[in-house]
Every structure is written in structure tokens, then in C-alpha cells.
Amino acid sequence: MLTDHKVPRPLHRKSGGRPGSRRLITALPAVERGIPLPDGRKLPFLNGMTWAPPVQRNHGHGLVPPVVAIVVDAEGFEWYEHADGSMTTSMYQEVILPEETYWDPTTKHSVPKPAEMIRRSDDK
């Protein structure tokens, strides 16, 4: 078990937004319960979640920047887009073990590579 919040089926829900859509955000409401950030702040839950593990972010990337938009991915799930291009979401993931299968809440946070680190297919 990854957390003590496992369930027999996913409890998240997909956004009503169009996949690929991006809604600009100027401010988020302060919340007491939400997706925990490393500095103690919390982001409002997405995708119908009511609990989520903390965001894991490498210290070398600094603090999680402010949210600038909510993006709906190809599967219909909402993600926060941060000012540095990083993305955060929470949803349930399926865990398959030999003795059981269940769904566990997860928080995903991705940070883009700097442009100078991206190689084209014709780079040697």
C-alpha cells in the first residue's frame, strides 16, 4: 500500500473542460485542505479529490511557483500549470499486486527540461 487511503475503485472524476483547454488563473483561493506543497501552502484539490499526498519537487528547482492556468489533458484530467512551466495534479492510480488490486491517491508534479538540454532528433 502506498498510502492508507486505498479504495477499490477510483474516486476521481474527469474535468468537464475540453481536452487541451487552458484556463488562465489570476488567483487561487486559500484552502486549509488541499494538495500540500513543500513550503506548507496548499493548492485546491483537482479532479474531485478529497485527499492527496504532498508534491515532491527537487530542491534544485526551488519553491513551487504560482499557478498561472488550469489545463485539461487528453484524458480529461485537470492539471495546474505553474509560472515556470511545471505541472501538478492529483488523481487515483491503480496498484496491482499478486494478492490484490486497488486504487491509491497520487500527486504528480513534472518540471520541464531547460531548452538548452533538449536535443533534436538530428543532434549527434
Q: Which residue has the higher pLDDT, 13 or 92?
A: 92
In the chain, how long is the greatest CA-to-CA distance? 50
C-alpha dihedral sign at 40, 43, 45, 46:
negative
What percent of the chain stands above pLDDT 90?
Answer: 53
**Model-level pTM greater than 0.85?**
no
How is the chain split into domains, by residue range? 22-111
Beta bridge partners of 100: none
CB atoms within 10 A of CB 52: 27
Q: Which of 21-35, 56-70, 103-117 has the lowest mean pLDDT?
A: 103-117
Grid coordinates standing for 2? 502506498
The residue-averaged pLDDT of 87-100 equals: 92
Q: What is the DSSP letter of 7?
A: B
- What integer pLDDT is reported at residue 74 of this predicted model? 93
Whether residue 65 contacts residue 46, with contact meaning beta carbons closer than 8 Å, is answered with no
